[in-house]
Amino acid sequence: MTAPTLVPYDEVVERFDPVLGLEVHVELNTQTKMFCGCPTTFGAEPNTQVCPVCLGLPGALPVVNRKAVESAIRIGLALNCTITPWGRFARKNYFYPDMPKNFQTSQYDEPIAVDGYLDVPLDDGSVVRVEIERAHMEEDTGKSLHVGGSTGRIHGAEYSLLDYNRAGVPLIEIVTKMIPGTRERAPEVARAYVTALRDLLRALGVSDVRMDQGSMRCDVNLSLSPRDSGVLGTRSETKNVNSLRSVERAVRYEMTRQAGVLLAGERVVQETRHFDESTGSTSPGRTKETAEDYRYFPEPDLVPIAPPAEWVEELRATLPELPWEHRRRIQAEWGISDAEMRDLVNAGVLELIEATVAAGAPAGEARSWWVSYLTQQANTRGVEPTGLPITPAQLARVIALVASGELNNKLARQVVDGVLAGEGEPDEVVAARGLAVVSDDSALIAAVDEALAAQPDVAEKIRGGKVAAAGAIVGAVMKATKGQADAKRVRELVIERCS
């Protein structure tokens, strides 16, 4: 296979219009699976959360999880969809080792939610409306683990292992309509859509939406039309892109790759593609099946889903404040600018700050810790700020210790470092490292006198009324106490001792 010719991005945009489509699979955070009572805890020992139903053993009968239907309806409503009053599950037939029934129970032509939209905020503050075609319920498959290869893919592996813990976990698949007209912003729009959807689902409390753990997975469909022609091109479908940044990169890469194919006078192949995180490129998967290949038919073992209108209205009443409305309110409360707010959101620290404030810290303090020191720490460690081993409550405690004068800012950092290093709660770190501010005046007076004696010329100046010279003595005392003195109190004492 020859390497694809990539066309420079500017040229792609000049000659073609990208048409985007996004399919997002979200695992619901229900206690139990979609059609059986097995638990859904992530990371359990392989094949410990299984039963005859989710293993697809002959004769086992599924029962729908009410909570999953409830979440599906709430998602549909939050996406401004119509909730279908009656619909059946369908069998999507295909063989794959991680799906022991040989069909996935899904919804086909009778999805629970149809025809909605999501207003997606972009970085510059503008909003793009992305239309939603459908949101349907289905079950997740098990997981294959390919052992022995370098890539973790089946190709080159020595053998494969199967874990069915995930088989039957409730999924909602959310499919957009084609998104035209995004031009050079197509990669940004794709990323912004997935971000907005993630935030919305998180606010609904229906999923962990952890892309890194696979509880939210995105398939990126992309085709190119010759600029302003309106003629639809053939699309590729890049599967299971698992970070926001990768969504953006996958769109960009496919634009430059497909343009290369088209400009060479060839045709884009309709296929699924894999995204490679390390190179940012995509490679061909299987040639895309069509719906007919799946031989869909209504699932005879499940009753139709027919949510009564009153129930739907009850669920509508439980919808939370939308994330962007919430942000607007918080921004006003904290009195910060649009740009400052955007930085918080982009840095992924908004929720952390809110949680720190909820734990009792003033907003300004909480903000400054998360935006500067803790974001730096996260960058150094190569993790998201949410992945840092410090909780908002612990940070709030550190902030409280500073407010009460028990710590100064420098010491507070050392306490945070201790918490990050796993040394325990802030108070334990203070005790173990001996970090409390020296507030005992007699100890400070001794240090001040010593510093004055060591610098008699400076002491003379202060005695002569040159209060500005006190800085040198304060500095010496701070050094002698390893930064553990309250500098303001030291200054007061220096002046007292010289008058």
The nearest distance, CB 138 to Mn ion, in angstroms, is: 5
Residue 38 in the binding site for Zn ion (CB under 5 A):
yes
Residue 359 in the binding site for Zn ion (CB under 5 A):
no
Residue 209 in the binding site for Zn ion (CB under 5 A):
no
Choose one: 37-45, 173-181, 316-324, 452-460; the region binding Zn ion (CB under 5 A).
37-45
Angle between helices 350-358 and 392-403 (to 10 degrees): 60
Choose one: 30-38, 168-176, 242-250, 460-468; the region binding Mn ion (CB under 5 A).
168-176
Smaller CB distance to Zn ion: residue 38 or 390? 38
Smaller CB distance to Zn ion: residue 28 or 352? 28
Q: Which residues of 260-274 are buried (b: 16+ CB within 10 A; e: fewer)?
A: bbbeeeeebeebbbb
Distance CA 493, CA 308 (A): 75
The nearest distance, CB 272 to Zn ion, in angstroms, is: 28
Judged by beta carbon distances under 5 to 8 A according to partner kind, the member of Mn ion, Zn ion, none in contact with residue 173 is Mn ion
Smaller CB distance to Mn ion: residue 270 or 386? 270
Total of residues contacting Mn ion (CB under 5 A): 1
Smaller CB distance to Zn ion: residue 63 or 443? 63
Distance CA 246, CA 268 (A): 22
Under a CB-based contact definition with an 8 Å cutoff, are residues 77 and 313 in contact?
no
Judged by beta carbon distances under 5 to 8 A according to partner kind, the member of Zn ion, Mn ion, none in contact with residue 54 is Zn ion
Q: In angstroms, how far apart are the furthest CA atoms of the chain?
A: 98
Choose one: 44-52, 282-290, 302-310, 380-388; the region binding Zn ion (CB under 5 A).
44-52
Pairing of strands 216-226, 236-241: antiparallel
- What residues pair up with 160 in beta bridges, in sequence order? 146
Distance CA 258, CA 266 (A): 10
Positive/negative CA dihedral, 249, 255, 260, 266: positive
Residue 140 in the binding site for Mn ion (CB under 5 A):
no
Judged by beta carbon distances under 5 to 8 A according to partner kind, the member of Zn ion, Mn ion, none in contact with residue 69 is none
Distance CA 199, CA 56 (A): 34
Smaller CB distance to Mn ion: residue 78 or 135? 135
Strand, helix or coil at 222? Answer: strand
Instruction: Name the residue with tokens 């990126």.
Output: 220
The nearest distance, CB 160 to Zn ion, in angstroms, is: 22
Under a CB-based contact definition with an 8 Å cutoff, are residues 355 and 374 in contact?
no
Choose one: 7-15, 165-173, 352-360, 464-472; the region binding Mn ion (CB under 5 A).
165-173
The nearest distance, CB 417 to Zn ion, in angstroms, is: 45
The nearest distance, CB 147 to Mn ion, in angstroms, is: 26
- Residues 399-438 contacting Mn ion, CB under 5 A: none
Smaller CB distance to Mn ion: residue 79 or 349? 79
DSSP codes joined into one string, 373-401 = IIHHHHHHHTS-GGGSS--HHHHHHHHHH
Under a CB-based contact definition with an 8 Å cutoff, are residues 349 and 383 in contact?
no
Smaller CB distance to Zn ion: residue 38 or 216? 38
The nearest distance, CB 317 to Zn ion, in angstroms, is: 32
Residue 36 in the binding site for Zn ion (CB under 5 A):
yes
- What residues pair up with 220 in beta bridges, in sequence order? 22, 238
Q: Residue 214 burial by CB count (10 A; 0-12/13-18/19+): exposed, middle or buried? A: middle
Smaller CB distance to Zn ion: residue 38 or 132? 38
DSSP codes joined into one string, 119-159 = EEE-TTS-EEEEEEEEEEEEE---EEEEESSSSSSSTT-SE
The count of other CB atoms within 10 Å of the CB of residue 72 is 29
Choose one: 115-123, 166-174, 418-426, 479-487; the region binding Mn ion (CB under 5 A).
166-174
Residue 173 in the binding site for Mn ion (CB under 5 A):
yes
x-marked contacts with Zn ion along 46-65 as a string, rule CB under 5 A: -----x-xx-----------
Smaller CB distance to Mn ion: residue 79 or 350? 79
With CA atoms as reference, report the closest residue to 69 among 406, 357, 305, 324.
Answer: 305
The nearest distance, CB 49 to Zn ion, in angstroms, is: 7
Smaller CB distance to Zn ion: residue 51 or 495? 51
Query: What Å distances lie between residue 279 and 222, 249, 256, 283, CA to CA?
Result: 19, 10, 14, 11
Choose one: 169-177, 208-216, 378-386, 424-432; the region binding Mn ion (CB under 5 A).
169-177
The nearest distance, CB 69 to Zn ion, in angstroms, is: 17
Smaller CB distance to Mn ion: residue 173 or 199? 173
Choose one: 31-39, 155-163, 176-184, 375-383; the region binding Zn ion (CB under 5 A).
31-39
Under a CB-based contact definition with an 8 Å cutoff, are residues 205 and 73 in contact?
no
Q: Which residues in this chain contact Zn ion in the complex, by CB under 5 A?
A: 36, 38, 51, 53-54
Q: Which residues in this chain contact Mn ion in the complex, by CB under 5 A?
A: 173
